[in-house]
Amino acid sequence: MRATRRDMLLAMGAGMGTLALPQILRAQAAAHVAVVGGGFGGATAARYLRRLNPDLRITLVEPQEQFVTCPFSNLYLGRLRDWDSITHGFDGLRAAGIEVIHARAEDVDGSARSLGLSNGARLDWDRLVLSPGIDFRWGDLAGYDEAAAELAPHAWKAGPQTQLLRRQLEAMEDGGTFVMVVPQGAFRCPPGPYERASMVAHYFKTHKPRSRVLILDSQDRFAKQPLFRQGWQALYGEMIEWVGQSDDGLVVEVDASTRTALTAFGTRHKADVLNVIPPQKAGLIAERAGVTDETGWVPVRADRFESVHVPGVYVLGDATIAAPMPKSGFCANAQAKVAAAAITADLAGREPPPASFANTCYSLVGPGWGISVAGVYRAEGGKVVEVAGSGGVSPLEAGPEFRQAEADHGAGWYASICADIWGTA
């Protein structure tokens, strides 16, 4: 068995008698938790660990000095939000007593309990939290690699890609076609593609009304489908066309240089702006830490979000296998709070408190037209289960006041969760 710092101190304490006890307690209380990823999961975990036990030493590792959220980045594409309003710094977390290091996490040693960083530093940790988000399976979709993404942006990690896509939309002539490719397999933010289509349609309606939106989908159904279709019809008429998998919507190859998408049954769609959302997997550091399985995602113990493969490593958010919870920022935030409570309890030698999670995904179909899906979840038999009778989607039969209220709730949700996580408005 590996001698932990605690074992050593206990041994020393035993040798030195009871006088050493206060020292032992302080050493235990000053356990170090390293958190990788400054997004919805990681930044929440850092803040709540700090809040639950102010004596913990907490280090947050995040390469970017500012974090741009995927939630509400579609509104930036629709010109309903500016860039600054979806960009969050880390001063709030520093002010809360968290050490923030801007470097990339490069490797994890689960048995030595250390973390290697791109700046050459190595951090020893007592518990590790990974909230790495997603990475792309480059090459899974023929013709789509990192170079192709510079011509046909994915914009599925908010940042320069999102700005590139908006510039392309702005440069497009009226009468053009925006084509979006929706991937196979689990992907971040299930309603995201359809909100994006809505926001692009809003931009077209207000600036380029002869243009159209074409969604080529690998699925036959999508999140909040009846609500989206109702909103599209009401706000944009025939501007948005959705082609499901059964109608030859599955794209098997793209040519970024000609902005062409080729479907499984041989239809070529030529785009003026081509947005390819690629197939996805857990962020790379999860793979390097040995916590992913053959699916490329991370199985976790549902009651604490600790890896089933590597004890002491907790994984949050989009990287995890947490279905029926969707891959959403709200879920990552809820999972982070559960993990923070479990880690705090574990370090104190106690069982974690019962896990409970909630989620709401708001989508904006147009200005003043919001829709949502919500759910409440708990851990049962090692799995996440939805609480029967909880949540649901917005009613299909609702008037403009209801849609306006949900749009307002969405904006309110965004403001409050950003304040909760980064301490920003």
- Residues 266-285 contacting other proteins, CB under 8 A: 266
Listed residue (271, 289, 319) closest to 157, CA to CA: 319
Q: C-beta of 246: minimal distance to other proteins in Å?
A: 4
**What CA–CA distance (Å, rounded) separates 133 from 110?**
20
Q: Is 264 in the site for other proteins (CB under 8 A)?
A: yes
- By C-beta, is 248 or 272 nearer to other proteins? 248
- Block residue for tokens 């403009």: 400
Q: Which of 250, 277, 319, 338 binds other proteins (CB under 8 A)?
A: 250
- By C-beta, is 17 or 266 nearer to other proteins? 266
Q: Which two tokens stand for residue 8?
A: 């050593």
Contact call for residues 325 and 331 (beta carbons, < 8 A):
yes
Q: How many CA atoms, within 13 angstroms, populate the side-chain half-sphere of residue 63?
A: 10
- By C-beta, is 46 or 261 nearer to other proteins? 261
- Block residue for tokens 């982070």: 336
- By C-beta, is 167 or 268 nearer to other proteins? 268
User: Interface mask (CB under 8 A) for other proteins, residues 210-249, using x and -?
Assistant: ----------x------------------------xx-x-
How are beta strands 114-117 and 105-109 bridged, if at all? antiparallel
- By C-beta, is 189 or 250 nearer to other proteins? 250
- By C-beta, is 7 or 220 nearer to other proteins? 220
**What CA–CA distance (Å, rounded) separates 113 from 312?**
8
Q: C-beta of 249: minimal distance to other proteins in Å?
A: 11
How are beta strands 356-366 and 369-380 bridged, if at all? antiparallel
**What CA–CA distance (Å, rounded) separates 392 from 178?**
31
Stretch that binds other proteins, among 173-181, 258-266, 329-337, 369-377 (CB under 8 A): 258-266
Note if the bond before 324 is cis, omega within 30 degrees.
Answer: yes
Q: Is 265 in the site for other proteins (CB under 8 A)?
A: yes
Listed residue (367, 378, 361, 363) closest to 400, CA to CA: 367
Stretch that binds other proteins, among 6-14, 129-137, 259-267, 308-316 (CB under 8 A): 259-267
**What CA–CA distance (Å, rounded) separates 33 from 53?**
11
Neighbour count for residue 45 (Cβ, 10 Å): 33
**What CA–CA distance (Å, rounded) separates 5 from 28?**
9
**What CA–CA distance (Å, rounded) separates 239 from 210?**
8
**What CA–CA distance (Å, rounded) separates 212 from 179?**
9
Q: C-beta of 265: minimal distance to other proteins in Å?
A: 4
Stretch that binds other proteins, among 48-56, 260-268, 313-321, 390-398 (CB under 8 A): 260-268
- By C-beta, is 216 or 341 nearer to other proteins? 216
- By C-beta, is 83 or 265 nearer to other proteins? 265
Q: Is 124 in the site for other proteins (CB under 8 A)?
A: no
- By C-beta, is 246 or 356 nearer to other proteins? 246
Q: C-beta of 255: minimal distance to other proteins in Å?
A: 17
Q: C-beta of 245: minimal distance to other proteins in Å?
A: 7
- Residues 324-353 contacting other proteins, CB under 8 A: none
Torsion-angle region of 281 (φ positive above 0: left; ψ -120 to 50: alpha; else: beta): beta
- By C-beta, is 255 or 318 nearer to other proteins? 255
Stretch that binds other proteins, among 199-207, 262-270, 276-284, 352-360 (CB under 8 A): 262-270
**Rounded to the nearest 5°, which phi and psi values hold at 410?**
-60, -45
Q: How far is CA 3 from CA 10, 57, 112, 132, 289, in A?
A: 11, 21, 10, 29, 21
Q: C-beta of 266: minimal distance to other proteins in Å?
A: 5
**What CA–CA distance (Å, rounded) separates 365 from 213?**
14
Q: C-beta of 218: minimal distance to other proteins in Å?
A: 10
- By C-beta, is 143 or 366 nearer to other proteins? 143
Q: C-beta of 185: minimal distance to other proteins in Å?
A: 14
**What CA–CA distance (Å, rounded) separates 367 from 404?**
8
Neighbour count for residue 267 (Cβ, 10 Å): 14
Q: C-beta of 47: minimal distance to other proteins in Å?
A: 41
Q: C-beta of 82: minimal distance to other proteins in Å?
A: 41
How many residues at the interface with other proteins, by CB under 8 A?
Answer: 8
Q: C-beta of 380: minimal distance to other proteins in Å?
A: 21
Positions that interact with other proteins (CB under 8 A): 220, 245-246, 248, 250, 264-266
